[in-house]
Copies of this chain bind each other. A is one copy, B any other.
Amino acid sequence: MDKKYLYLFSEGNGKMRELLGGKGANLAEMMNLGMPVPYGFTVTTEACNKYYDDGERLSDEMVEEIFVYLNKLEELSQKKFGDPKNPLLVSVRSGARASMPGMMDTILNLGLNDEVVEGVAALTNNPRFAYDSYRRFVQMFADVVMGLPKSKFEEIIDEFKEKKHVEMDTELDEQDMREMTVAFKKFYKDSLKEDFPTDPKEQLIRAVEAVFRSWNNPRADYYRKMNDIPSSWGTAVNVQMMVFGNMGNDCGTGVAFTRNPSTGERKLYGEFLMNAQGEDVVAGIRTPQTIDHLNEIAPEAFKQFQDICGKLEAHYKDMQDMEFTIEKGKLFMLQTRNGKRTATAALKVACDLVDEGMISKDDALMMVDPKQLDSLLHPQFDPNALKAAEPIAKGLPASPGAACGKIVFSAEQAIEEAQLGHKVILVRLETSPEDIEGMHVSQGILTVRGGMTSHAAVVARGMGSCCVSGCGEIQIDEAAQVITVKGKKYTADDYLSLDGSTGNIYGCKIETIPASISGDFERFMKWADEKRRLGIRTNADTPKDAALALSFGAEGIGLVRTEHMFFEGDRIKAMREMIVSKTSDQRKKALSKILPMQQGDFEGIYEAMQGHPVTIRYLDPPLHEFLPTSSYDIANLAKDMNINLDDLKAVISSLHEFNPMMGHRGCRLAVSYPEIAEMQTTAVIQAALAVNKKHPEWKIVPEIMIPLVGEKNELKYVKDIVVRVADEIIAKAGSDMKYMVGTMIEIPRAALLANEIAEEAEFFSFGTNDLTQMTFGFSRDDAGGFLSHYYDKKIYEQDPFARVDQKGVGKLIDMAVTLGRKQRPDIHLGVCGEHGGEPSSIDFFHRVGLDYVSCSPYRVPIARLAAAQAAVKESRK
């Protein structure tokens, strides 16, 4: 082969994550560290990409190579694949570069057939174990390779249990297992019209292909989109000698974290099941025991495990999430990885590791995903409202936060309701990977079964969503769409409130209050502020938003949109009067009614920002947005304004635009109607003068921003109006107040000619929403319809309105920064589009040399951390 596509674990190491995937690299690393890891090898992510390049098949060469490594594995394990006398059984597990828990597929016990199983039974002297393993293998193979639903097999198991009047799988005996295997294989043949494959090598190749295929299954696809993982990365496959947790009561399997993933507390945290195989623990079918009980059952293995935990944490310098199996008392490590954790835990772990001297502050900053902070910023239950409420039940506090919404019973329902803007709580017996999208759109998740490491718990923590799991007090009747708690019924019309930090469940709606930044969070954010170079401003149109952003650490307002101020109350009437005016004097008269209100708005915002800088953008949207649309409203307006109905209709129709996004808006309004810019300048300057008078120490310097500029002359025309009006007012007031005039860069031409624009503009603020629309040539309002096809066909992998398109839009931004600074070295550069609060975009804005980003108040802490991470990354280069 032209390339090395396979690696024994002993050939790899922890740094080879891109090639071997996270699981493969860490197995190799643990083996290098001398830890007990069953032998195995990894088929690389490059092999996965080759599989897709070869038309979704393994080439003959690749198959041959896999068999070469199978031979090596046989030598190492001193067992033989398919040999009943000394059989090698293997697990086949996916392992991508980034951890995608539960998203792809796993097959255990591969290598079994009717002969080999008898050999295993004889060798282990444990036929029940042998057939338990065999029936599991048939089920997993059928599911993963052939796409037969797991639930069909669960039904067969349930039939057996009923027949035998038992509740637990463990109560089924050898004969049951034998019969179940036969039943499984019969179902397989009936469904697929082919025998279950008996050749272990065929089993292996088909399993490897299935894992590669699973890289593109819908839930993996959705997970990648949510976590910005490129589909081009591919997954590796790990083929590993089986060790067995289901050989008897001296066997077991478990998962554990070196610290509490919910709170961050430094204490081993995990669960295990004796006489069970891997998936049993996380699948939530049997409720497992907490890890400390292992000390009582298998003290030696527990001690060894504790020791390994310490070593792994010291080695990886981060909280670890591990899987292990105990086979006849002997411990085997099957996986380690940096553990997923809640935002609270992430902050505590980061602070503790710094205090423990294990990592630097820079390391700590890099350890927390900025997006996670979001979960700490949203409202918590109002303690007073909480006092009055009585929990109806209690489950496990699986993922913290407060959630309130109406009940839904399926992921599909959740998605439907969320699209209607409704807040919902997803209530499930247990969740499965298929539910992931529904979980994402729900306020909170409540499950009947499953522990703290169940699927629901792990995924919810990753999402920063509130989750209460394993609440057995609830009965669900999905068909009737009812849950019953202690005899009381709740339907889709009822509210539930969940407290993910306590596990409490309330049967009512509970009010919430805003979050605050304190403790570890506060300490951590201070480190971020010390590190970052980018300033952080906020987009806020009201004193309330401004104050909230200030409490979240905003250093100013990067964008006050003034158009909202024209819609409120009586103002819309004056605005409409302005629009239908035919002369400049009429327009001035109408605007003069808005002036005092607008000035009051600005005073409120200046007061709230306590002297921090405030950038005010002049009127931006197309005029027709202000006009009434219904016949009734139009008739009323004509009456109110005492104008002819037909005249009014004519005005409204003359304002119609085919493409309002590219129409009469932004500074084009001020060019057509200079009176608007005059009024807004008067309001801004008078407001600043008034507040400066009350608080001379604030020394407010108004920043006036002209939107949608594409040409220097256009900016100059509006700026000349601003300067004329402002200078006159300031002189009349006998003040020496300064002010600045700048522009949005949101039209491609403005970016291309930024040097010319900078002759007039004292600052630029990139409006990345419009800039993205114009650069891609599609409007945000309309793109939804076809962009979904683009994602399906992998033409785009991410929404350019969510993350800035660094290649295209970014190139324009980069040009504009360079050209602008060349013309005016001290020009102040920022961004106020929605990308200003998105971490990967912030990293780009840092690299390209902006002075600040501006984002919505709730995104301010996220932006602070993302900016710090960008600075750390730069300092490490």
Residues in chain A within 8 A of chain B (CB atoms): 654, 657-664, 668, 671-672, 708, 710-711, 713-714, 717, 746-749, 752-753, 756, 770, 773-779, 781-783, 785-786, 789-790, 793-796, 805, 807-809, 811-812
A822 to chain B, nearest CB (A): 15
What are 10 A-B contacts defined by CB distance under 8 Å?
Answer: A659-B662, A662-B778, A662-B779, A663-B778, A663-B782, A664-B782, A710-B776, A713-B794, A748-B808, A756-B807
Alpha-carbon separation in the docked complex, A789 to B714 (Å): 11
A662–B662 CB distance below 8 A: yes
Chain B residues with CB under 8 Å of A747's CB are: 775-777
Alpha-carbon separation in the docked complex, A267 to B747 (Å): 56
Q: Please tell me which one of the listed residues B662, B752, B756, B781 contacts residue A773 in the complex, with CB atoms under 8 A apart.
A: B662
Do A717 and B795 form a contact, CB below 8 Å, given A660-B658, A776-B747, A779-B659? yes
Q: Please tell me which one of the listed residues B708, B714, B756 contacts residue A790 in the complex, with CB atoms under 8 A apart.
A: B714
Q: Please tell me which one of the listed residues B662, B708, B711, B746 contacts residue A795 in the complex, with CB atoms under 8 A apart.
A: B711
Closest 3 CB pairs of A and B: A749-B808, A662-B779, A663-B782
Chain B residues with CB under 8 Å of A807's CB are: 752-753, 756
Alpha-carbon separation in the docked complex, A785 to B795 (Å): 37
Q: Please tell me which one of the listed residues B654, B672, B782, B786 contacts residue A659 in the complex, with CB atoms under 8 A apart.
A: B782
Chain B residues with CB under 8 Å of A805's CB are: 749
Most chain B Cβ neighbours within 10 Å, of A713, A782, A812: A782
Alpha-carbon separation in the docked complex, A192 to B658 (Å): 49
Chain B residues with CB under 8 Å of A748's CB are: 748, 774-775, 777, 808, 812
Alpha-carbon separation in the docked complex, A763 to B586 (Å): 55
Chain B residues with CB under 8 Å of A717's CB are: 793, 795
Chain B residues with CB under 8 Å of A808's CB are: 710-711, 748-749, 752-753
A671–B782 CB distance below 8 A: no
A672–B789 CB distance below 8 A: yes
A793 to chain B, nearest CB (A): 6
Residue of B nearest to A672 (CB): B789
Residue of B nearest to A785 (CB): B664
B777–A770 CB distance below 8 A: yes
Chain B residues with CB under 8 Å of A790's CB are: 671, 714
Residue of B nearest to A812 (CB): B752
Alpha-carbon separation in the docked complex, A657 to B779 (Å): 9
Residue of B nearest to A716 (CB): B795
Alpha-carbon separation in the docked complex, A536 to B805 (Å): 37
Residue of B nearest to A656 (CB): B782
B664–A777 CB distance below 8 A: no
Alpha-carbon separation in the docked complex, A672 to B793 (Å): 9
Q: Please tell me which one of the listed residues B668, B713, B777, B783 contacts residue A749 in the complex, with CB atoms under 8 A apart.
A: B777
A781–B659 CB distance below 8 A: yes
Alpha-carbon separation in the docked complex, A795 to B782 (Å): 31
Q: Please tell me which one of the listed residues B662, B785, B811 contacts residue A661 in the complex, with CB atoms under 8 A apart.
A: B662
A752–B779 CB distance below 8 A: no
Chain B residues with CB under 8 Å of A793's CB are: 671, 717
Alpha-carbon separation in the docked complex, A87 to B809 (Å): 71
Chain B residues with CB under 8 Å of A783's CB are: 662-663
Apart from A662-B782, A748-B774, list 7 A-B contacts with CB within 8 A. A657-B785, A659-B660, A664-B786, A671-B790, A713-B796, A717-B793, A748-B812
Chain B residues with CB under 8 Å of A657's CB are: 779, 781-782, 785
Alpha-carbon separation in the docked complex, A661 to B658 (Å): 8
Residue of B nearest to A788 (CB): B672
Most chain B Cβ neighbours within 10 Å, of A660, A746, A808: A808
A232 to chain B, nearest CB (A): 11
Chain B residues with CB under 8 Å of A663's CB are: 778-779, 782-783, 785-786
Chain B residues with CB under 8 Å of A773's CB are: 662
Residue of B nearest to A622 (CB): B782
A736 to chain B, nearest CB (A): 26
A104 to chain B, nearest CB (A): 24
A608 to chain B, nearest CB (A): 33
Chain B residues with CB under 8 Å of A672's CB are: 786, 789
Chain B residues with CB under 8 Å of A796's CB are: 711, 713
A811–B777 CB distance below 8 A: no
Chain B residues with CB under 8 Å of A752's CB are: 775, 807-808, 811-812
Residue of B nearest to A778 (CB): B662
Residue of B nearest to A710 (CB): B776
Most chain B Cβ neighbours within 10 Å, of A654, A657, A660: A657
Residue of B nearest to A663 (CB): B782
Residue of B nearest to A773 (CB): B662
Residue of B nearest to A657 (CB): B782
A382 to chain B, nearest CB (A): 40
Alpha-carbon separation in the docked complex, A796 to B717 (Å): 11
Do A809 and B749 form a contact, CB below 8 Å, given A671-B793, A713-B796, A796-B713? yes
Chain B residues with CB under 8 Å of A795's CB are: 671, 711, 713-714, 717
Alpha-carbon separation in the docked complex, A708 to B790 (Å): 14
Do A658 and B779 form a contact, CB below 8 Å, given A749-B809, A785-B664? yes
Residue of B nearest to A772 (CB): B749
Residue of B nearest to A770 (CB): B777
B749–A662 CB distance below 8 A: no
Alpha-carbon separation in the docked complex, A753 to B808 (Å): 7
Alpha-carbon separation in the docked complex, A795 to B713 (Å): 5
Residue of B nearest to A782 (CB): B663
Alpha-carbon separation in the docked complex, A645 to B714 (Å): 49
A661–B664 CB distance below 8 A: no
Alpha-carbon separation in the docked complex, A133 to B54 (Å): 96
Alpha-carbon separation in the docked complex, A790 to B660 (Å): 18
Chain B residues with CB under 8 Å of A782's CB are: 657-660, 662-664
A777–B658 CB distance below 8 A: no
Alpha-carbon separation in the docked complex, A812 to B775 (Å): 11
Chain B residues with CB under 8 Å of A786's CB are: 663-664, 668, 671-672
Chain B residues with CB under 8 Å of A660's CB are: 658-659, 782
Chain B residues with CB under 8 Å of A775's CB are: 710, 747-749, 752, 774
Residue of B nearest to A715 (CB): B795
Most chain B Cβ neighbours within 10 Å, of A668, A714, A783, A812: A668
A618 to chain B, nearest CB (A): 15
Q: Please tell me which one of the listed residues B671, B714, B777 contacts residue A708 in the complex, with CB atoms under 8 A apart.
A: B777
Residue of B nearest to A794 (CB): B713
Most chain B Cβ neighbours within 10 Å, of A748, A753, A794: A748
A535 to chain B, nearest CB (A): 27
Alpha-carbon separation in the docked complex, A748 to B770 (Å): 13
A658–B776 CB distance below 8 A: no
A858 to chain B, nearest CB (A): 27
Chain B residues with CB under 8 Å of A776's CB are: 710, 747, 749
A788 to chain B, nearest CB (A): 9
A668 to chain B, nearest CB (A): 5
Alpha-carbon separation in the docked complex, A660 to B663 (Å): 12
Do A777 and B714 form a contact, CB below 8 Å, given A671-B786, A752-B808, A811-B752? no
Residue of B nearest to A708 (CB): B777
Alpha-carbon separation in the docked complex, A274 to B220 (Å): 96
Alpha-carbon separation in the docked complex, A786 to B710 (Å): 14
Residue of B nearest to A709 (CB): B777
Residue of B nearest to A661 (CB): B659
Alpha-carbon separation in the docked complex, A224 to B811 (Å): 37
A781–B708 CB distance below 8 A: no
Chain B residues with CB under 8 Å of A668's CB are: 778, 786
Chain B residues with CB under 8 Å of A811's CB are: 752-753
Chain B residues with CB under 8 Å of A654's CB are: 785
Alpha-carbon separation in the docked complex, A777 to B713 (Å): 16
